[in-house]
Amino acid sequence: MSLGPMTPYLGPASSLALAGNVLVMHERHLGRPISTPSSRRSLFWGILPWEKEIYDQRPHGTADGFNTENTERLHIDFAKAGYRTTNKVHYTRQMTIWLARQEAVYKFGTYLQWAVPGYIADSANDADNNDLEEEEEGSAVPARHLPPDDPDSDDEGELGHDTPSRSLTYRVPKNPSFPRVPAATIVSEFHAPDFLIKLDDFLKSNSINPHHPPDVNSTFPVYKRLSIPLPQISEVASHVVYDTVRAVRAEPGKMTAKGIMPAKEGRFDTVLVRKDTPDPDHDPIHGISVARIRVIFRLPEHYGSYPHPLAYVDWYKPLKTPVPNIRMHKVSLSSRNHRQHSSIIPITEILRSCHLIPVFGKSLSPLWTSDRVLDQCKSFYLNLYLRHHDFYLFRYLVDLYDYKRAEEQRRVRIRQFGRAGLY
């Protein structure tokens, strides 16, 4: 007997197995068992009678014309949709509560349909679930589903900045992670030795004259991260993709009620910064430089008014001709007067994060780790193969610019020399 094309199949992705997983999650939430493994099958057979029919036909093989549409639908309802509503920390408990609430809303909506003539219950998750199905092939996160990158932070929500030219240039947390950080702490723990000097240069260049110049005891609100929307590329994603940039100081190990928390290394991401205004007469990467963010902060009102957060960055040397064969730019830290070249810039000049690959040479230092290699290695390759957006900027747009320039030069030669200009 064929059960039709919509019949779920046996196995770990069957409706029975998925329903069993939901029951296990509910038991973990309650902290006590509500059934035994032997009693679950009869329990679910009462809910999912087609499972019993398939179970009885196991000696005869798999049902004809089966597919995985039903089980994939349940996987979205029970796993994906619930996970996306959590903060990604201890998510099992949050998923269980969310699913229980969704079931309560569904039951009440069904009751209203029965009690109120003409009433049609509308599921609030239909749109989100459709988005989950469309995003299955990619890992990029759209703006409306931007997850909190730092669950330990006290940030609540995010603030965005709009401009006429770009729909959204950046996002920062509504509340700074560290509301009052002394300048002396920024210098020592965020590795920004020239912070006060560069801040004074920034205030002067923007004609900001505070009544009391900042000193080592001055405090600043500091953020752990900012999010930047990447340019939309129709071949890559149909929605806005956000790139998160972090500047987090190291934390020592400490004793908590849950046990010993291990020490955490600091994280200071590298970014691409647009130092000059884009010029159509130059290639697309003209005016772009590589920098490393040390601290993201906002200027307090009593030191002057500035609309955007600021970032203290360490500069790398300007981009030169890419290395042959691999076509990646080679960069190293820039210095001035035997000191690291640094400055303070508004975060509106930051384009996106970037990935640097150490130039290993003939030997690999055993001291290099993922947390410290940016401090210990001297030269790096700018990786343009990690993301589609980087490849699009450094390869596709550059090659397109070179091709158009060569075509224009060829047309000029033809106008000057005729057919001889072709050679």
Q: Give the per-residue pLDDT at 381.
A: 95
For residues 337 and 180, what is the distance between their CA atoms, to the nearest angstrom?
32
Q: Read off the pLDDT of each residue in 19-31 and give the average, rounded to a whole number.
A: 67
pLDDT 10s digits, 167-190: 458 899 888 999 999 999 999 999
For residues 312 and 370, what is the distance between their CA atoms, to the nearest angstrom?
22
User: In the predicted model, is pLDDT for residue 301 greater than 90?
Assistant: no
Q: Which residues, in sequence order, are bridge partners of residue 140?
A: none
Q: Give the per-residue pLDDT at 293.
A: 96
Instruction: State pTM to two decimals.
Output: 0.63
pLDDT 10s digits, 235-245: 777 788 899 99
Least confident interval from 114-118, 228-232, 356-360, 416-420: 416-420
pLDDT 10s digits, 358-376: 998 888 888 888 888 998 8
**Token pair recorded at residue 151:** 């669950």
- Is residue 59 very low, low, confident or very high in pLDDT (cuts 50, 70, 90)? low
